[in-house]
């Protein structure tokens, strides 16, 4: 007869287990919530490893520029804790869209795309540039797109 295989050592899961060092309950920050109140693995992943994408514009040039050109720098930052994989930047100006591959943005990393435009003087201050970033998390799950715009 194998008595060693029948021994139970995890006393904390027994309902009436108490110790002077550990008192289960809402007042103890080390207590685990009951199973029905514990987050699912997906919720834990989402809260810990999710990218947080920010879009920032810098505009140079404009009406004072004699060459009638403008340069827009679009900086994409990942301020989150997770990877932003297969990241793509799509810009749209005057109905024309362009897509740029950004690859993978690790946490605390950024990518910058520069767009140079030449346009008639009268078009300045009347143009809007839209930027949208699409990406996936570390598990290749698509996440909501992030969009922003600037006017010049």
DSSP string, 18-85: --SS---STT-TTPPPPGGGSPPHHHHHHHHS---EEEEEEEEE-TT-TT-EEEEEEEEEE-SSS-EE
**Spatial separation of the C-alpha atoms in residues 80 and 139, rounded to whole Å:** 15
Residues contacting residue 83 through CB under 8 Å, at least 6 positions apart: 49, 51, 104, 105, 106, 107, 137, 138
Does 61 or 91 have the greater pLDDT score?
Answer: 91
Summarize the confidence of residues 129-138 as an average pLDDT: 92
Quick one: DSSP state of residue 16?
Answer: T
How far, in Å, CA of 32 to CA of 48, rounded? 18
Give the model confidence (pLDDT) of 67-119 as tens digits.
567 889 999 999 988 889 999 999 998 888 999 999 999 999 999 999 888 76
Distance in angstroms (rounded) separating the CA atoms of residues 74 and 84:
17
Of 34 and 128, more confident: 128
Q: 3-43, pLDDT tens digit by residue? A: 776 666 655 555 555 554 555 556 665 566 667 777 777 77
What is the C-alpha R_g of the chain?
26
Count of residues in the chain: 152
pTM for the full predicted model: 0.66
Bigger pLDDT: 134 vs 121: 134
Kindly state the tokens that stand for 146.
């992030």
pLDDT band at 65 (very low <50, low <70, confident <90, very high): low
The predicted structure's pLDDT at residue 101: 96
What CATH code is assigned to 51-151?
2.60.40.10
């Amino acid at each position: 007869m194998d008595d060693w295989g029948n021994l139970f050592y995890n006393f904390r899961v027994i309902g009436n287990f108490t110790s002077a060092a550990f008192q289960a309950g809402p007042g103890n920050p080390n207590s685990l919530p009951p199973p029905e109140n514990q987050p699912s693995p997906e919720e834990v992943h989402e809260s810990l490893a999710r990218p947080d994408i920010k879009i920032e514009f810098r505009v140079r040039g404009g009406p004072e520029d004699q060459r009638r050109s403008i340069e827009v720098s679009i900086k994409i930052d990942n301020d989150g804790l997770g990877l932003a994989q297969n990241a793509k930047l799509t810009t749209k100006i005057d109905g024309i869209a362009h897509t740029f591959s950004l690859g993978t943005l690790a946490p605390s990393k950024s990518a910058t795309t520069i767009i140079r435009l030449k346009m008639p003087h009268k078009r300045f201050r009347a143009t809007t540039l839209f930027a949208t970033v699409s990406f996936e998390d570390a598990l290749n799950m698509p996440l909501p797109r992030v969009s922003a715009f600037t006017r010049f």
